[in-house]
Amino acid sequence: MGKGALVRLPLLALLARGPAHGYELKQDLEQLLGSAYPQPNIGQIYVTLGRLEKTGLIEGEEVEQSSRPNKKIYRLTEAGREALNVWFEETADEPRVRDDFFMKLALAPRTGLADQITLINRQRRQYLNTMRALSKLAAAEDRDNRIAHLLIEGAMLHLQADLDWLERCQEELEDTE
């Protein structure tokens, strides 16, 4: 799933409330998700809106402004509303079996290019650094933004599970040496 796909459906969902222009949508996303969520830049938003318009999920209309260039207001089409309904009904099914780190871990002994325990330790350091960064974000985030706090908490719980799993890998691999 490319970055565009991660922005596409949230933009559609924001347009379900009513018409808006690109910059408003960017601000809405930032306000909703807080600083922990990787924010798309405005260029990415406009490229995605262009694609959504081409596929008929939204329609854009140029609106004249007296002292500034025209702005384009986007609204959801019936097809867009249908795509959103399908998205909200789907459940997420992304088991971590296609994990890049695990592939390295599995291939390391066969290639002789890396040591498994070194890989585990490096990954553990990365997870711990990410955990510290998330803790700082949580402390800095507006207390009233429950969505942002839940997002950070979810990321930290996933990281904790990943750390536990690394521990399990290390125990298993050290036993076989």
Considering only residues 36 and 60, tell me which one the structure prediction assigns the higher pLDDT: 60
DSSP string for 6-38: HHHHHHHHHHTTS-EEHHHHHHHHHHHH-TTS-
What's at 143, amino acid-wise? R
pLDDT in tens, 71-109: 899 999 999 999 988 888 887 666 666 678 888 888 888
pLDDT digits 0-9 by tens, 101-115: 888 888 888 778 889
Confidence label for 162 from pLDDT (cuts 50, 70 and 90): very high
What does DSSP assign to residue 143? T
- The pLDDT assigned to 94 comes to 66
pLDDT tens digits along 122-151: 999 999 999 999 999 888 888 888 998 999
What 8-state DSSP symbol labels residue 87? Answer: H
State if pTM tops 0.85: no
The answer to whether 19 touches 74, Cβ cutoff 8 Å, is: yes
Kindly indicate the confidence band of residue 3, based on its pLDDT and cuts at 50, 70 and 90.
very low
Q: Tokens in use for 92?
A: 């997420």
Check residue 97 and give its pLDDT: 64
Average pLDDT of every residue of the chain: 87
